[in-house]
C-alpha cells in the first residue's frame, strides 16, 4: 500500500486501496469524446501519456531520494538517543519510537518507486501484504506517537506535581507499546484484504461486497482515527497548556525550568504542525474524492502525486526539525558525526602507520632494495628479497 484511502489516479499511487469492482465508483473516469470534441480528447490523451512517461522517471527518483534522506536522518536519531545518556529523556523515548516508525515507513518507498517505474507490481502476493501492513501500521504509529508526545507535554506543563509519577521512561515505553498495538489493530483490514491480481501485476485491497460501502467505511474510520481524532486531542492539549501558562505567569516554577519546558514544547508543536501540513492535503483529497468522485484528469493526477510525495516527506523532515529546534539533538548529531569522521581518520592513520613500519624493513644497499633479514646476516641465498 502506498497510502490509506482511495487512490483516485490509481495508476500513479503505489498500491491503491480501492478494489477493481469499486474503482469505477471511487474514481470517475473522464467521459468519452466524439464529434467536435475529438481534437480536445486527443490533446488530453497526449497530455496524459506525456505525464505518465515523465512520472515513470521522476516519481521513482523522488521516492528514492526521500527514502535515502529519511533512513539516514531517522537512523541518526535512533543512534544518538540510544548512544548518549543525556538523550535518554521521557520526551526522547517518544521521539525514538517516532523515528523507528518513520524508518519502517521508508522501507515501503523502494517498492513504490519500482512499481511506478514499471507500471506493475513485480514482487508477488506476500510482499504486497507485507508492504501494505508496514505502510498502514506506521502511518498510524506516527500520529499516535505525536498524540502521546502532546499529552506528555500537557502533563509536564499543566500538572507538574504529577509529572514525576507519570513522566517516567517505563511509562513512556508502555505507552509506545500500546501505540504499536493500536496501530496494528486499526490497520488490520489491510493485511486481511490485500491481494495481487490473478495476473500478479497489481497490489490492491479487495474489499468484500458491497465493495463501495466497505471502501468508504474504511476511509472514513481511518481518517477519523488516523488524523482528525488525534489532531483534536493534540489541539486540546496545547490549548490547555496555553491557558495554564497565561494564568500562572511567573508562578510556574523556576525561570530555567520554564525556559526548558518552553523549548521542548515548541519543538513538539512544530513537529505536529509540519505533520498536519504534510498530511492534511492527503486526507482532504480522499474525503473530497468520496463526496464528488474526482475525475481521473491529468491535472488531478499531478496534484495527487504531489500530495503523496508530501505525505512521505514528513518522515524525513522530523530529524531536520530536531536539529534546528533542540540544542541537545544538534550537539548529539554533531558529536556522532565527528565520532564517525574520527573513526575513519583513525583507521586511515593506522593503515598508514602499518605501511610505514613495513617500509622500514627495507634497506637499500649497493643501489638495490634488500630485506632486513638479508642485511642482518641472513646472507647469501638465505635472505628473501623485498618487493619494491
- What's the mean pLDDT in 47-54? 60
Answer yes or no: is pLDDT of 140 > 90.
yes
- Total length of the chain: 388
Dist. CA 147–CA 235, nearest whole Å: 10
What is the pLDDT at residue 249? 59
- Best CA proximity match to 172, nearest among 143, 151, 141: 151
> Which helix (H) or strand (E) element contains residue 196?
strand 194-196
234: Cβ–Cβ under 8 A, 6 or more apart, which residues?
Answer: 146, 147, 150, 272
Instruction: List pLDDT tens digits, range 150-185.
Output: 999 999 888 888 888 888 999 999 999 999 999 999
272: Cβ–Cβ under 8 A, 6 or more apart, which residues?
Answer: 146, 149, 150, 234
Answer yes or no: is pLDDT of 8 > 60.
no
Dist. CA 13–CA 305, nearest whole Å: 7
Instruction: List pLDDT tens digits, range 62-88.
Output: 999 999 999 999 999 999 999 888 888
At which residue does the C-alpha cell 544538534 appear? 330
- DSSP-derived 3-state class of residue 120: coil
Work out the pLDDT band at 46, boundaries 50, 70, 90. Answer: low
Answer yes or no: is pLDDT of 14 > 80.
no
Work out the pLDDT band at 95, boundaries 50, 70, 90. Answer: very high
Give the least confident one: 49-53, 189-193, 228-232.
Answer: 49-53
Dist. CA 194–CA 184, nearest whole Å: 15
340: Cβ–Cβ under 8 A, 6 or more apart, which residues?
Answer: none
What is the pLDDT at residue 68? 94
Instruction: List pLDDT tens digits, range 260-303.
Output: 777 888 888 999 999 999 999 999 988 888 888 777 777 787 88
What is the pLDDT at residue 233? 95
CA torsion angle 12 18 19 23 (round to 10): -80
Instruction: List pLDDT tens digits, range 307-366.
Output: 989 999 999 899 998 888 888 888 888 888 887 655 555 445 444 554 454 444 434 334
Answer yes or no: is pLDDT of 128 > 60.
yes
* Cβ–Cβ < 8 Å for 4, 17: yes
- Best CA proximity match to 143, nearest among 197, 82, 206, 187: 187
Amino acid at each position: 500500500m502506498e497510502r490509506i484511502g482511495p487512490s483516485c489516479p490509481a495508476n500513479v499511487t503505489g498500491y491503491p486501496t480501492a478494489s477493481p469492482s469499486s474503482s469505477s465508483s471511487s474514481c470517475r473516469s473522464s467521459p468519452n469524446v466524439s464529434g467536435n470534441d475529438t481534437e480536445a480528447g486527443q490533446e488530453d490523451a497526449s497530455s496524459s501519456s506525456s505525464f505518465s512517461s515523465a512520472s515513470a522517471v521522476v516519481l521513482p527518483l523522488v521516492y528514492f531520494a526521500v527514502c535515502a534522506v529519511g533512513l539516514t536522518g531517522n537512523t541518526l536519531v535512533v543512534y544518538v538517543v540510544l548512544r548518549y545518556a543525556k538523550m535518554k529523556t521521557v520526551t526522547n523515548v517518544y521521539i525514538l519510537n517516532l523515528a523507528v516508525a518513520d524508518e519502517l515507513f521508508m522501507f515501503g518507498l523502494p517498492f513504490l518507486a519500482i512499481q511506478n517505474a514499471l507500471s506493475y507490481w513485480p514482487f508477488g502476493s506476500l510482499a504486497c501484504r507485507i508492504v501494505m501492513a508496514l505502510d498502514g501500521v506506521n502511518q498510524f504509529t506516527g500520529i499516535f506517537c505525536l498524540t502521546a508526545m502532546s499529552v506528555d507535554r500537557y502533563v509536564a506543563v499543566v500538572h507538574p506535581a504529577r509529572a514525576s509519577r507519570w513522566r517516567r521512561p517505563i511509562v513512556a515505553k508502555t505507552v509506545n507499546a500500546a501505540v504499536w498495538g493500536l496501530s496494528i489493530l486499526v490497520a488490520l483490514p489491510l493485511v486481511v484484504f490485500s491481494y495481487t491480481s490473478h495476473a500478479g501485476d497489481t497490489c490492491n485491497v479487495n474489499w468484500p461486497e458491497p465493495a463501495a460501502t466497505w471502501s468508504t467505511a474504511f476511509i472514513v474510520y481511518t481518517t477519523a482515527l488516523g488524523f482528525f481524532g488525534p489532531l483534536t486531542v493534540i489541539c486540546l492539549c496545547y490549548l490547555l497548556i496555553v491557558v495554564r501558562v497565561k494564568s500562572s505567569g511567573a508562578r510556574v516554577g523556576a525561570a530555567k525550568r520554564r525556559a526548558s519546558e518552553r523549548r521542548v514544547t515548541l519543538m513538539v508543536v512544530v513537529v505536529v504542525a509540519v505533520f498536519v501540513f504534510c498530511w492534511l492535503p492527503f486526507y482532504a483529497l480522499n474525503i473530497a474524492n468520496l463526496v464528488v468522485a474526482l475525475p481521473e484528469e491529468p491535472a488531478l493526477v499531478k496534484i495527487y502525486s504531489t500530495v503523496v510525495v508530501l505525505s512521505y516527506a514528513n518522515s524525513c523532515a522530523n530529524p531536520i526539525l530536531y536539529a534546528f529546534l533542540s540544542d541537545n539533538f544538534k550537539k548529539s548529531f554533531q558529536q556522532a558525526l565527528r565520532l564517525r569522521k574520527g573513526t575513519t581518520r583513525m583507521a586511515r592513520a593506522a593503515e598508514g602507520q602499518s605501511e610505514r613500519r613495513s617500509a622500514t624493513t627495507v634497506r637499500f644497499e649497493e643501489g638495490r632494495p634488500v630485506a632486513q633479514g638479508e642485511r642482518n646476516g641472513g646472507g647469501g641465498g638465505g635472505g628473501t628479497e623485498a618487493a619494491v
